[in-house]
A = this chain, B = another copy of it.
Amino acid sequence: MSQTAAETAPTAAVLIIGDEILSGRTRDINLHTLARFLAPLGIDLMEARVVGDRQDQIVAALNALRAAHDYVFTTGGIGPTHDDITADAVGAAFGVAVREHPEALALLERRYAPGEFNAARRRMARVPQGGLLIANPVSDAPGFQVENVFVMAGVPKIMEAMLDDVAPRLRTGAPVHSRTLRVSGVGEGAVADILRAAAEARPHLSFGSYPFGFGAGQAAGQGSGEVGTQLVIRGRDLTEVDAAEHDLSETLRSGGVEIAVTSPH
């Protein structure tokens, strides 16, 4: 059953658009928000890219990603200023014209007082032909969907709010379950063999290992109690994930490794 679920799980990619991320001015949070949005829907986020405000870059990345995945989610570049070029880039990627969308125009006309709805703001009504609007409950200016591509705002509050309108349009898969075993004072290298054997015994699951506690001046594997390892088991078959957690816990404990916390994330 887990194999079937895994085989049919939709895949997705994220495309973050904006010079401000690459220049170091802004730290992106939208990728993380999207990853956490997709996981419980059972949609596998396979890759992400970050590009600047350049049409050639956006078009190339978008065409690669939309051909390879069921869904692509973009953020950034749909505002009113000259550096907001995402609508034109998406139109170019799909080879369609970009036009004022009547419904988007009506939304924006309602929003602004007479005289305030200038040409720049009117740009936010431009959508590639065939595009469906994505509602923006924060500031009205909509995102849009063209085929399997969802084009959203870069402002995190707005991007996140747009997901409410995106979610019902997505085909979902079986969610991936995860369990975390937190072992304190034990470096990754000390449990690597046990983890490898666990992974080889259950090829349908994925097993990850993440050190923690690298504070100032601290080093791995020194057994200070401040450093340790998180072992993560992930898979679509909940019964198998739970069995793997049980088996791995037993093996670790019988090897003298103390498990501080187990948690579902």
Give me the interface of A with B, judged by CB distance under 8 Å. 14, 19-29, 31-32, 35-36, 38-39, 45-53, 57, 61, 79-84, 111-112, 116, 118-121, 123-124, 138-141, 155-158, 176, 178, 188-193, 195-196, 199, 206-211, 214-216, 218-221, 232, 234, 265
By the criterion CB–CB under 8 Å, are A80 and B19 in contact? no
Residues of B within 8 A of A24 (CB): 32, 35-36, 38-39, 45
Contact B139 A219 (CB under 8 A): yes
User: A47-B51, A192-B120 in contact; A138/B23 too (CB < 8 A)?
Assistant: no
Q: Are B195 and A82 in contact (CB under 8 A)?
A: yes
- Secondary structure at the A interface, as helix, strand, loop or mixed, is mixed
Specify which chain B residues have a CB less than 8 angstroms from the CB of A124 in the assembled complex.
189
Q: Is the CB of B209 within 8 A of A81?
A: yes
Bound-state CA distance A237–B118 (Å) is 33
Residues A46 and B38 in contact in the complex (CB < 8 Å), given A81-B188, A82-B196, A120-B192:
no
Chain B residues near A140: list those with CB within 8 A: 219
Nearest-CB distance from A176 to chain B (Å)?
7
Q: Are B155 and A211 in contact, with the CB atoms below 8 A? A: yes
